[in-house]
């Protein structure tokens, strides 16, 4: 991917170097939570479809001693604007390109103006509007503060754990999270979240799958329009995205962790579904093609 030619976004909040997000609490975890507790909560979130940041944030509130929370002083080590290191520059460039694409595509295709999200880069852990963000959660979008959270070590984890590498594979992950922001801008995300509070776990999981597959499709829409406008893609890029989508499908992850898949517990979609919906968005380049809620078959 020709990301070096992209404009770097100014909507980057670089919190790396703030000490891993623990801010002096004992135990090296979030708000005094042990690593084991954090891992368990992450697993619960993965199974139930609840954002692990919310679960961990709630546990912190229960576990936190009655004392003033110590946080990094405002502006002490926090940086805004495009980072200068390689992974930071890459993330800022991809975010900048999503801004340039969506500020044109969204109004033209939906009549809605695009309001950019902010990307928070962190290392180890940090606070989010949805609770504590930890590296083990992977990248996520928090609708409460309208920010994307990314521990840049996730790129290395993709290569080591999922055997996926390539700049476009990493760009796909960022574009997917920006896709959730698009859903928020369109008013889809809050409607789904309200509905999830009214249904049982199985139906909530099904709604989550549709949300995630739509974000995959929107990532494909971005890729198509970015290539048409900026000549962004290179040979092999789409294949990298397909490898990434396949590697993080619920069925594949569950089979790797427990030897079998439980479709009713899926929260992101199978490998085949994730690949298919990214391709749907990429082939059409149209936001309207990503309506997974009206699709007869996912």
pLDDT higher than 80, residue 43? no
pLDDT higher than 50, residue 298? yes
231 within 8 A of 293, measured Cβ to Cβ: no
84 within 8 A of 200, measured Cβ to Cβ: no
pTM of the entire structure? 0.81
Confidence of residue 50 (pLDDT cuts 50, 70, 90): low
Mean predicted confidence (pLDDT) in 33-54: 51
Confidence of residue 201 (pLDDT cuts 50, 70, 90): very high
Q: What is the pLDDT of residues 101-156, one digit of tens each?
A: 999 999 999 999 999 999 999 999 999 999 999 988 899 999 999 999 999 899 99
Q: Using the CB atoms, write b or e for 155-184: b if 16+ within 10 Å.
A: beebeeebebebbbbbbbbbbbbbbbbbbb
Separation of alpha carbons 255 and 168, rounded Å: 26
Separation of alpha carbons 251 and 31, rounded Å: 33
Residue 19's alpha-carbon distances to 36, 88, 134, 153, in angstroms, are: 20, 17, 12, 15
pLDDT higher than 70, residue 88? yes
Please report, for the chain, the start and end positions of each structural domain, with discontinuous segments joined by +: 3-290
Identify the sign of the CA torsion 59, 61, 62, 65.
positive
pLDDT value for 136: 86
Residue 227's alpha-carbon distances to 3, 217, 285, in angstroms, are: 11, 15, 10
Separation of alpha carbons 35 and 143, rounded Å: 26
Q: Pick from 230, 219, 236: which is nearest to 280 by CA?
A: 219
83 within 8 A of 159, measured Cβ to Cβ: no
Task: Say how many CA atoms lie within 13 Å of 141 toward its Cβ.
Answer: 23
Longest dimension (CA), the chain: 56
pLDDT value for 22: 35
Confidence of residue 169 (pLDDT cuts 50, 70, 90): very high
Sheet strand arrangement including 147-151: 79-80, 12-14, 118-122, 147-151, 140-142
């Amino acid at each position: 991917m020709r990301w070096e030619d992209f404009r770097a976004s100014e909507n980057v909040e670089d919190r790396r170097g703030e000490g891993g997000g623990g801010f002096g609490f004992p135990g090296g975890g979030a708000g005094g939570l042990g690593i084991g507790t954090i891992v368990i909560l992450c697993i619960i979130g993965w199974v139930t479809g609840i954002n692990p940041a919310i679960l961990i944030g709630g546990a912190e509130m229960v576990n936190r001693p009655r004392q003033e929370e110590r946080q990094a002083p405002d502006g002490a080590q926090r940086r805004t604007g495009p980072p200068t290191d390689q992974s930071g520059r890459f993330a800022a460039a991809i975010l900048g390109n999503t801004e340039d694409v969506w500020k044109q595509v969204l109004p033209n295709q939906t009549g809605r103006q695009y309001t950019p999200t902010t990307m928070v880069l962190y290392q180890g852990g940090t606070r989010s509007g949805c609770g504590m963000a930890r590296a083990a959660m992977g990248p996520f979008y928090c609708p409460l503060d309208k920010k994307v959270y990314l521990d840049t070590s996730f790129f290395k984890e993709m290569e080591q754990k999922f055997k996926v590498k390539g700049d476009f594979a990493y760009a796909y992950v960022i574009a997917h999270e920006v896709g959730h922001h698009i859903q928020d801008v369109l008013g889809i995300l809050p409607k789904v979240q309200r509905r999830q509070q009214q249904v049982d776990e199985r139906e909530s999981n099904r709604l989550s799958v549709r949300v995630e597959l739509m974000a995959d499709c929107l990532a494909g829409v971005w890729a198509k329009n970015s290539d048409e406008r900026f000549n962004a893609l290179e040979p092999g890029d789409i294949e990298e995205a397909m490898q990434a989508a396949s590697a993080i499908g619920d069925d594949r992850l569950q089979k790797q962790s427990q030897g079998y898949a439980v479709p009713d517990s899926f929260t992101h979609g199978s490998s085949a579904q994730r690949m298919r919906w990214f391709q749907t968005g990429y082939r059409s380049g149209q936001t309207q093609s990503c309506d997974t809620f009206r699709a007869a078959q996912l």
